[in-house]
Amino acid sequence: MSKGLESARPQLALSHLGYLPTSPKTLTLIPAGSVDLPETIPFYIRQNCFRMPRNATPLEGFSERFPSPYDTLRGRLIARPGSYYRQGELHRTSTRWGLFWQADFNDFTTPGSYQIETDWQVSPPFAIRERIYDRIIAGYLTFLRAQRCGYEMFGVHEACHLDDGVLDTNGRPWPATGGWHDAGDFRKWLAFILYHVEALVTLHERVQDDLIRGGVTPAHLREEIAWGNRLFHRMINDEGQVYEDVAGGAAPPGSGFTYERHWWFENHPGCYGDASDNRWTDNRPGSDDERKVRTTYNPLVQWAFVLAQARAASCLAPPAAEPCLKLAERAARYGRRRGHDGRTLFLAAELRGNLELLAAQSTEAERQAILALATELLNRQEPGGEGLSGYFLEAGQADGFRSVAYAADPALTLLRLWELRGWLGGCAALVDRAANAVHRYVEEYLRADAASNPFGLTPYGVYLNPPHTDRQCFRDAGRKRGVRTFIHPFNALGFASSTGSVLLSHAHLLARASAALGPASWRSAAERLLHWTLGHNTCNRSLFTGFGYRQPIGYSFRIPQLPEALMNGFLGRPDDSPYLEESTNIEWNTLEYWSIPYLHAAQAACWLR
């Protein structure tokens, strides 16, 4: 090994944050270079920072107690009684991602702070304690506040974009200050940032008492919701249309815009612009550097607005709740009149919006519409057969449903229908179908495919007609269909992004469904997805800035650093193996700070407490 090159050694990966006493606890040794490793490798759980003795001769001038101030892994371990708490064995296993050495230590539940040591490597420190995932919730709240637009965040940025904005249609001034930036840049995509309201309301409902003890009151959460609504309430016009974004930039000339051609990727809502508005401004209205309000109609934005405002109305106290519900109802009426193309993403969003109107006791909640939408969504679930099943399809079985940002939305929406079953009296058969659909999605799709890799990662999606099979790998999903854990890089748009938000949306679904429907194994599956993001991965890297001990260099387009941010995560090579950029040649596709994975992670943490 070259001196100082720790990366030339094998890595010992686990969750850097740690574990609940009841958590699944998997340890993985990742080989490096030409290091020859035996079939089985003993490992020892010991107290954090108290190294076990080794058989190397102390350097001249040093004692057995302090054998060397450098090259501390010299020699083989001496397993003296009292120098460790538990011994186990890592076993070599051959996987589609190569050779790994793995072991579980699920039975070790004693609260404390530990490291695991082997002859070849020492793990990052980790804790075992109750409420370990509260750290994710605290980080999310800090990150979200740092993303405020039009607000001075000490040490991050001054008050910005106080001159937002002008309409993209005629240049008319339109008040669009406030809200949150989305991904370490300055754009405000409502298709993403509207969902922060849902996450904040979930926090308000589920961890209120503990937050108070931690110094965060329910009033703080309501204040953050109100900050977002400062923008959202200005993004709906008198007719009820909700505008799509602020600062996305201009559309390509003569593009003949369609969501199929000009969204970032399949069911990945957002940019079809040139990012020309992603910039600082002088904060002075009328100085010709105001950013554009994009007035494109986006059905996902429309129904996400209904969801967000109906949820906010249930959380905020009068009189703040009243305009939320009125605006949700106005947006719902417009959305019904305008309609959409029927894709599964829009169908699930419309159903969810109507369900939240029902929960908010709105007169706009249409029971028959809910039943029709739910029936249509249920009919889009793969009915079963050879291979994987239980996943969702697009209308007319045109393709499998896949979404970078909202992979779990159809199942989460049906789970929400089951949670609100008390509002749907007389619909027991439909409610039971919804619960069964969630069960099938988890067991026959997510968990069935997660067994294909050594870290329990859930799939990105199923392809009815896998493209470019000569250039990229698809695993057999049955009936000549393909499945990948990661996005297929050779796609029509040449778009390669990580699937961190896919994994964390599934973590949210699994944790929430376990709490609602019972299977404890779903909870463990959710935790494994969090653990991957927290360091138990093929690079031994935590993707949370400020969490853990080894992190890649995060990418922020305009702000060099954001506190407590979460990176996109791993993307897949053509052979569907994981890749994370670790050089300083940082790229957005794996290293961008993004809101969506974080709000999924925070909600998963709420349901794992």
Mean pLDDT, consecutive 10-residue segments, the chain of 609 residues? Answer: 58 98 98 87 96 89 84 91 96 96 98 97 97 95 95 93 95 96 92 97 85 73 95 98 90 68 78 80 95 93 98 91 96 98 96 97 94 98 94 96 97 98 93 98 98 98 97 97 96 89 98 96 98 98 94 84 92 96 88 94 95
DSSP single-letter state for residue 283: S
Residue 339 is inside which H or E element, if any?
none
- 469 is written with which tokens? 């099979």
**Dist CA 49 CA 121 (whole Å):** 14
- List C-alpha distances in Å: 68 to 43, 60, 62, 63, 122: 22, 9, 6, 8, 16
Do 116 and 158 fall into the same domain?
Answer: no
- Residue that finishes a domain, picked among 128, 146, 174: 128
User: Do residues 341 and 356 touch, judged by C-beta distance below 8 A?
Assistant: no
Residue for token pair 């072991």: 103
- 398 is written with which tokens? 């045109």
User: Do residues 201 and 315 touch, judged by C-beta distance below 8 A?
Assistant: yes
In a domain, 421, yes or no: yes
Q: Provide the CATH number for the domain around residue 564.
A: 1.50.10.10
In a domain, 591, yes or no: yes
- List C-alpha distances in Å: 483 to 362, 391, 445, 528: 41, 11, 10, 20
Do 168 and 82 fall into the same domain?
Answer: no
In a domain, 1, yes or no: no
Provide the H-helix boundaries in 316-404: 321-338, 344-359, 367-379
Residue 74 is inside which H or E element, if any?
none
Do 536 and 576 fall into the same domain?
Answer: yes
> Of 402, 517, 418, 398, whose CA–CA distance to 459 is shortest?
402
User: Do residues 445 and 389 touch, judged by C-beta distance below 8 A?
Assistant: yes
In a domain, 555, yes or no: yes
Do 210 and 103 fall into the same domain?
Answer: no
> Of 288, 365, 296, 360, whose CA–CA distance to 332 is shortest?
365
In a domain, 167, yes or no: yes
Do 333 and 373 fall into the same domain?
Answer: yes
Do 87 and 216 fall into the same domain?
Answer: no
DSSP letter for each residue of 48-71 = TT-PPPBSSPPPTT--SSS--SS-
Do 67 and 151 fall into the same domain?
Answer: no
Total count of domains within the chain: 2
- List C-alpha distances in Å: 261 to 152, 249, 486, 492: 37, 17, 21, 9
User: In the prediction, which pLDDT does 559 show?
Assistant: 79
- List C-alpha distances in Å: 423 to 31, 130, 209, 416: 54, 34, 27, 11
What is the three-class DSSP state of 441? helix
- 420 is written with which tokens? 């609100």
For residue 153, the cross-strand partners are 157
DSSP single-letter state for residue 242: B
> Of 144, 230, 228, whose CA–CA distance to 183 is shortest?
144
Do 460 and 345 fall into the same domain?
Answer: yes
Show the 3-state SS of 382-399: CCCCCCCCCCEECHHHCC
Sign (positive or negative) of CA dihedral 308, 311, 316, 320:
positive
Do 271 and 306 fall into the same domain?
Answer: yes
- Residue that finishes a domain, picked among 128, 153, 168: 128
Do 367 and 408 fall into the same domain?
Answer: yes
User: Do residues 384 and 390 touch, judged by C-beta distance below 8 A?
Assistant: yes
User: In the prediction, which pLDDT does 70 show?
Assistant: 86
Residue 318 is inside which H or E element, if any?
none
- 53 is written with which tokens? 């003795």
Residue for token pair 């249409």: 366
Boundaries of domain holding 371: 134-607
Kindly give, in sequence order, each residue whose CB lies less than 8 Å from that of residue 202, ignoring residues fewer than 6 positions away.
Answer: 602, 603, 606
- List C-alpha distances in Å: 471 to 60, 463, 574, 593: 57, 15, 7, 30
Q: Provide the CATH number for the domain around residue 10.
A: 2.60.40.10
The count of other CB atoms within 10 Å of the CB of residue 39 is 9
Do 121 and 149 fall into the same domain?
Answer: no
User: In the prediction, which pLDDT does 4 show?
Assistant: 42
Omega before 319 within 30 of 0, i.e. cis: yes
C-alpha dihedral, 487 to 491 to 493 to 496, nearest 10° = 30
- Residue that finishes a domain, picked among 72, 97, 128: 128
DSSP single-letter state for residue 446: I
pTM: 0.96
In a domain, 561, yes or no: yes
Do 371 and 426 fall into the same domain?
Answer: yes
Residue for token pair 């470019």: 468
